[in-house]
Chains A and B, each alone.
Chain A
Amino acid sequence: MVQFSETRLDASFAALSDATRRGVLEQLGRADASITDLAEKFHMTLTGMKKHVGVLERAGLVTTEKVGRVRTCRLGARALEEEAAWIERHREIWEMNYARLDALLAELQSAPQKKPPKKK
């Protein structure tokens, strides 16, 4: 199970509490993009988008790299970790449910039938 420090957690919640920032993560999940691209896509000023990206970056959800005059954004390791942890959680809960289902199916197959099949 993945443990997170509370400070990081707060930062992540704050980062994800905003619809635009979730949209940015969704966008970066498809392809890397520059701040200019993102600003255009979300009909926002460059300054506005820089702020959003800054929040995501501090939460570890996005990393940025400046090459020449262009700052490229991509999903941070933490965003990918979260996704992996989330999938792992799915697995865990399904396993609990399905272990019970295994037991139930075994029981149903071994138990004598309540209504015996009609004789032909």
Chain B
Amino acid sequence: MSNIKVETPSDREVRVTRAFKAPAQLVWDAHTKPELMRKWLKGYDGWSMPVCEMDVRVGGSYRWRWRNDETQTEFGFFGKYLEVIPSARLVFEEHYDQGSFDVAMMKEPAIITNDFEEADGVTTLIVTMAYASRAERDDAIATGMTDGMGHNYKYLDAWLAG
């Protein structure tokens, strides 16, 4: 159940597949209701999600912001919903909001597609992140290298969360 699959279907996309023991309706709710989403979409410990606004309809906007409780560093994502099919498909653009974070990335928005597929009480969630170019993805790879130095790649939480 908890097996996660990460693939790169093209040189500018990443796809994550994961099954949940719950009906699609609930998994959808967890992605579209702020009071539910901020409970799980937090990445590493020590981060909270002070801003989680979502107007889930085509053309509606969302704004997410995370904060490191210790350093008060903030960053986020924002954008518009492009496709909304309840319990089935959620597509939105993702702009990076650097906030007070010292990592710049993703000048062009990525397009995030969430597909929810329910069968026998199990919902398979397929998240496809399409970056504007492979260069954007390479930027992310470059930024990821800070990992070895043990600091500031936590923006990835949000980015991945898309």
Q: B14 on the interface (CB 8 Å rule)? A: yes
Query: Is A96 within 8 A of B44, CB to CB?
Result: yes
Stretch with Cβ within 8 A of B (4 or more), from A3-11, A37-45, A47-55 = A3-11
Q: Considering the chains assembled together, what is the distance between the CA atoms of A95 and B138 in angstroms?
A: 22
A residues 71-120 in Cβ contact with B at 8 Å = 82-83, 85-87, 89-91, 93-106, 108-109
Within 8 Å CB of A96, what residues of B? 43-44
Query: Is A94 within 8 A of B42, CB to CB?
Result: no
- Most chain-B CB neighbours within 10 Å: which of A6, A83, A98? A98
Least Cβ–Cβ distance between B153 and chain A, in angstroms: 8
Which of these, B36, B142, B160, contacts A13 with CB under 8 Å? Answer: B142
Report the interface size class on chain B.
35 or more
Q: Residues of B with Cβ closer than 8 Å to A? A: 1-2, 4, 6, 8, 11, 14, 16, 18, 20-22, 26-27, 29-30, 36, 39-44, 133-135, 138-142, 144-149, 153, 156-157, 160-161
Q: Residues of A with Cβ closer than 8 Å to B? A: 1-6, 9, 12-13, 16, 19, 22-23, 25-26, 29-30, 82-83, 85-87, 89-91, 93-106, 108-109
A-B contact pairs, 13 of them (CB 8 A): A1-B147, A19-B135, A85-B144, A89-B147, A90-B156, A93-B156, A94-B6, A97-B41, A98-B18, A100-B39, A101-B40, A102-B21, A106-B22
